[in-house]
Amino acid sequence: MPIKVPAGLPALQAVKNEGVTVEELKISTGNTLRIALLNLMPTKETTEADFIRVLSEVPQEIEITLMKLDTHTPKHASPIHMQEYYKGFGELRTQHFDGLIITGAPVEHLPFEEVTYWKELCNIMEWADSNATSTLYICWAAQAGLYHKFGIDKHLLPKKMFGIFQHKILNKDIKLFDGISENFPVPHSRHTTLLRDEILQEKHLQLLSESEISGVHIVQERNTRNFFITGHSEYALETLDGEYRRDLAKNMPIAPPVNYYADEERMQSPTNTWQSDAKKLFGNWVKHYLV
């Protein structure tokens, strides 16, 4: 896929080093689709690579603009990296994007109003309705978007939803699922969830896919091109393993991610069961909802 990112972005080279074929677009043409990535994850470069990877097989030309909040300074990100490669919302708010992706964030333990950047995030979500053709809300951002727009709150789980879970497509006519099997795997890593009944009771929402175990997966806002996705299809192969071993090192109560390791006894050899469908999902988003 021809893709343009900020010059010198390390994540682009990291993906190439994995063997992923990415054609670097030097100059945008009139056919280039503009996607803004509001990256709220603490590991900025990892998340950048995740989305470059899942967008790598889209035939359309894409230009990715990295967006940051003006009211929040990330604790774990290099200030130099943020200054060199990211643009603040204030700098971008007069522009229009074909697509906007808002990532998850490690703040799900907080009530939404207690998140320090909640007001700015609400402004961005409202701005997106008129300045982005289609918006993907990922994981915590999906919960945040549904809460801000429809008052649907997240609910604490008794234990972390952690691993790879099978999902069922509820509406096969939705173009987002073109080429994806009726049951497809998706990584989840979260302590909170959305209730199915609360989604179904909201007339402006349509539940598109779900899991018997991990619950609500993709929700679409009716009559729009906005999608709320509770899983992490963009995750790299080793991400869940890294999260598991990080929490173990912190002596946190954490069970191994389910349906993930080929060698479950020794917690080794993660299996890549979801990335093929992930690339189709994001490719369909670009093909059918950004143009």
What end-to-end distance do the CA atoms of the chain give, in Å?
Answer: 16
Which residue of the set 48, 63, 139, 167 is catalytic? 139
> H-helix or E-strand containing 159?
strand 155-169
Catalytic site includes residue 91: no
Quick check: 96 and 132 in contact, CB under 8 A?
yes
122 catalytic per annotation = no
Please compute, for residue 289, the number of CA atoms within 13 A of its CA located in the half-sphere on the CB side.
26
Q: Which residue has the tokens 């609500």?
A: 216
Question: CA 214 to CA 88: how far, in whole Å?
Answer: 34
Q: Quick check: is 234 catalytic?
A: yes
Catalytic residue of the set 48, 63, 210, 234: 234
By the 8 A CB rule, do 210 and 193 touch? no
Which residue, chain included where needed, has tokens 């997966």? 217
**Number of continuous H segments (helices) and E segments (strands) in the chain:** 9, 14
Q: Which residue has the tokens 């969830």?
A: 193
DSSP single-letter state for residue 54: H
Residue 131, C-beta contacts closer than 8 angstroms, at least 6 positions apart: 93, 95, 96, 97
Tokens matching residue 66 = 């990295």
List residues with catalytic annotation: 139, 232, 234
